[in-house]
Structure 1
Amino acid sequence: MDIFHWAYDLFRELDFKKTTALYANLAVNLLVIIIATFVIDFIARKIVLWATAVAARRSKTQFDDFLVQNKTPQYIAHLIPLYVVYQTVPVILTDFSRWEYLFHKGITAFIILLTLWIIRSVFNSLRDYLKLLPDYNDKPIDSYIQVVMIMLWIFAITAIILALFDTSFTALISTFGAISAIIILIFKDTILGFVASIQVTVNDIVRIGDWITIEKYGADGDVIEINLATVKVRNFDMTTTTIPTYSLISDSFKNWRGMQESGGRRVKRHILIKANSVRFITDDEIDDLKKIQLIANYLDQRRSDINTFNEKNSIDKSLPLNGRNMTNLGIFRKYINSYIEHYPGVNKDMTIMCRHLQPTDKGIPIEIYLFTSDKRWLNYEYIMADIFDHIIASVKYFDLEIFELPSANSFVE
């Protein structure tokens, strides 16, 4: 086109040699196109961003808002100046066939990359949008998008190689096959993460928001992100632990989701009673213990049953060891059981138990096993502490002692 030769004519009139005038003309034209490209790109971005922003404000869905946040319109706007460059540069390179060939290769590669970038921004917008939906906000969407993007990058790189080197697709596949072992080694973690993500989702092993505990990695908190290579856990001390995704299927861990979805949170804790404080209870002591309202009826019924048995079998009660008897520890266990059954913060529809464990060198463990109806951490700790405060304070009323290791003051006379 003559419009792109005005500089050439000018330089020839100024007595420049033909070759020099051609290169000078090319330089001027390239400078003009560069400036025009920046101007067109600026105007295109302003128009596209304005139109998208208006559409996003009027739309009821938030998906277009995420498109704006992830710069999708901005990347699309770059296509307009790119098209101008694609149409004009070959014309000004008519006299430079070698450069035109190189330009064609370069602009093709750039178009592929820009297209990939637009697709990436759309997928990121889709990810952000799906995380707002209740049916998808706990799914490892990042993993799926990363897998798709890896595949797209592979296709993009393949397309760029084919375009730059004029290589046939069959020859390229043969080359990839020859180096497949190296590729598998490089992408080992990615492949393992992809397989793990599928298994985690299909088997519903972990969701975003689940409280998990993995002692091997020191993770104890809520899952905040699941992607192709890693899982991020925000611990309760506000630190973040990053663990490999495939460790969710290769290692053992604890998921507390079952507890959170159940009717209560378990309390399983014991106190140690000194073995030498356990003894039989006399009738007079039983009468005193009947002042404890929670076990008054139990003591009457229990004493009646024992007396009936002993009389029926002519038991000699001059020695307390003979026949059936009540112990202070047995009555204490019954009291604990009655107390936690009446405690308002305990779920009455789940297991409630006070049990006697195997005696140890530190005493007799009396374990309290129950489920609090309130599963929130702070309230759970409060309920558990309140129950054990009462139990520890009530031990002395049954003439029992709690075991504790002696301190320096224990040996002071």
Structure 2
Amino acid sequence: MNEITKYIEQLLASTSLTGGWLSFVTLSMLFATVALIAWLVYLLCIKIVSPLAARITSHTDVVWDDYLFNPQIIRAACNIVPAIIVWMLMPPIFSDHPIIQSLILKATAIYITIATMRLATTFISSLKLFDNDNDKRSATQQYLHSFCGVLKIIVLFLGVIIIISIIIDRSPLTLLAGLGATSAVLMLVFKDSITGLVAGIRLTSNNMVRKGDWITVSKAGANGTVEDITLSTVKVRNFDNTIVTVPPQKLIEDSFQNWHGMEESSGRRVTRTIYLDFRSITVASDELKKALAAEGLMKPEDMNGDVINLTLFRRYMERWLEQRDDVVTSSTYLMHLLDPTANGLPIEIYFFLKQKEWKAYEHHLAEIMEWTYALLPKFGLKIYQRI
């Protein structure tokens, strides 16, 4: 920089400028030179270094470098380089003007701090890209996702402390020590944020809910798929495509239903209750037995002796469920009686369907229940119905 200064002074010596004007023009030209150098270095990083790094990472066999050295991170790093050039070259120019020199140093230091914060937050955000292609997250991925949010808060907090320390010309450690006296006030002001932070960490670290899970939160009106989980919100897309944002502390404090276990199981449970008229439950007559045998619903040897029509119906339904391809026969399937009520005798049908997706599940369930309702009269049974 001294050689550049001497060259500019020799260049201006041949002009008619003297005194203050000579000093002003010299400083202006030196300032413009430093700005030009910083701009050229920035162009070098953006036009050459950035594409070169992208080309190198694209030709490697590993995947992690594509995320950690993506264009956003490289561009954020390139934004710091010009400020470092200014930090190194500019102060000697204004050595005779300490006030201007101090302002330039502070402004450059603040810019470097902000650019470094942006680089750090961009780098932390890139860690989330490792599971960006998955509709669902594992517990480890979700914990990493939440941990990235904590790191961002720490980076922003430290960045603000450093910027304040630069402005007031104090050590950052002094400011951090002084925060102990105001911690009670900060706890009161940021009570909700801290509560949400702790709840979000508990939610993800205990693997209570993950991205892609189907959850039901009745009090919040949420019944759909979890689209995103942060330290302050859980975003749920309902089946009507409305978005419900639930605070993590609500999921911790209140109960909610997670259908993840059902989706990973072999089938989805079905429980339906039918109320039968007591007056229709009788000993099967010979005519009823002949009619059932003629239609192939029951075998004659299964109806020997006195047998109740409801017993025949239960036997047939369990055998019929066992023969269906959409019922999980390895799980429990049965029809059993519940306690009698004033509205008839409740009989519950219990089984698991292989179809767990909502539309297919409802269609197969409706088909089975419609067939059940249609078969009841063939066994001489009637559904209790108030007239």
Q: TM-score range by the shorter chain?
A: 0.7 to 0.9
Aligned partner of 1:396 in structure 2 is 377
Q: 1:297 to 1:55 in 2, by over 3 A?
A: farther
Residue 365 (structure 1) aligned with residue 346 (structure 2): yes
Residue 93 (structure 1) aligned with residue 94 (structure 2): yes
| 1:94 Cα deviation after fit | 1.7
Q: 1:3 to 1:202 in 2, by over 3 A?
A: closer
Aligned partner of 1:288 in structure 2 is 291
**What amino acid does structure 1 have at the position aligned with 2:234?**
V
After alignment, is 179-188 or 125-134 more displaced?
Answer: 125-134
Aligned partner of 2:16 in structure 1 is 14
Cα distance in 2 for partners of 1:403, 1:38 equals 86
| 1:144 Cα deviation after fit | 0.7
Identity %: 31
| 1:130 Cα deviation after fit | 4.5
Aligned partner of 2:67 in structure 1 is 66
Q: 1:198 to 1:359 in 2, by over 3 A?
A: same
User: Is the contact between residue 333 and residue 354 of structure 1 (CA under 8 Å) also seen in structure 2?
Assistant: yes
User: Is the contact between residue 192 and residue 246 of structure 1 (CA under 8 Å) also seen in structure 2?
Assistant: yes
Cα distance in 2 for partners of 1:203, 1:77 equals 39
Residue 379 (structure 1) aligned with residue 360 (structure 2): yes
Cα distance in 2 for partners of 1:299, 1:216 equals 51
Written as runs of structure 1 = structure 2, the 5 A alignment for 1:68-217 is 69=70, 71-131=72-132, 139-169=142-172, 171-217=174-220
Q: 1:130 to 1:396 in 2, by over 3 A?
A: closer
* SS across alignment from 2:352: strand
Per-residue displacement from partner, 1:88-143 (whole Å, max 9, x unpaired)? Answer: 21122122111111222222222222222222222222221245587567524332
User: Is the contact between residue 309 and residue 380 of structure 2 (CA under 8 Å) also seen in structure 1?
Assistant: yes
Per-residue displacement from partner, 1:314-338 (whole Å, max 9, x unpaired)? Answer: xxxxxxxxxxxx4433432332222
User: Is the contact between residue 331 and residue 352 of structure 2 (CA under 8 Å) also seen in structure 1?
Assistant: yes
Q: 1:297 to 1:24 in 2, by over 3 A?
A: farther
Aligned partner of 2:232 in structure 1 is 229
Cα distance in 2 for partners of 1:270, 1:152 equals 57
* SS across alignment from 1:228: coil
Q: 1:168 to 1:288 in 2, by over 3 A?
A: same
Per-residue displacement from partner, 1:370-397 (whole Å, max 9, x unpaired)? Answer: 1113323333223212211211111221
| 1:399 Cα deviation after fit | 2.6
| 1:243 Cα deviation after fit | 0.8
Cα distance in 1 for partners of 2:61, 2:247 equals 38
Q: Structure 1: where are the runs of 5+ without partners?
A: 307-325, 407-413
| 1:229 Cα deviation after fit | 0.6
Aligned length: 383
Moved over 6 A (4+): none
User: Is the contact between residue 46 and residue 78 of structure 2 (CA under 8 Å) also seen in structure 1?
Assistant: yes
User: Is the contact between residue 48 and residue 74 of structure 1 (CA under 8 Å) also seen in structure 2?
Assistant: no
User: Is the contact between residue 286 and residue 299 of structure 1 (CA under 8 Å) also seen in structure 2?
Assistant: no
| 1:278 Cα deviation after fit | 3.4
Superposition CA RMSD, Å:
2.8
Cα distance in 2 for partners of 1:169, 1:73 equals 28
Per-residue displacement from partner, 1:58-116 (whole Å, max 9, x unpaired)? Answer: 11223333345451111222233222211221122122111111222222222222222
After alignment, is 384-393 or 231-240 more displaced?
Answer: 231-240
Q: 1:111 to 1:276 in 2, by over 3 A?
A: same
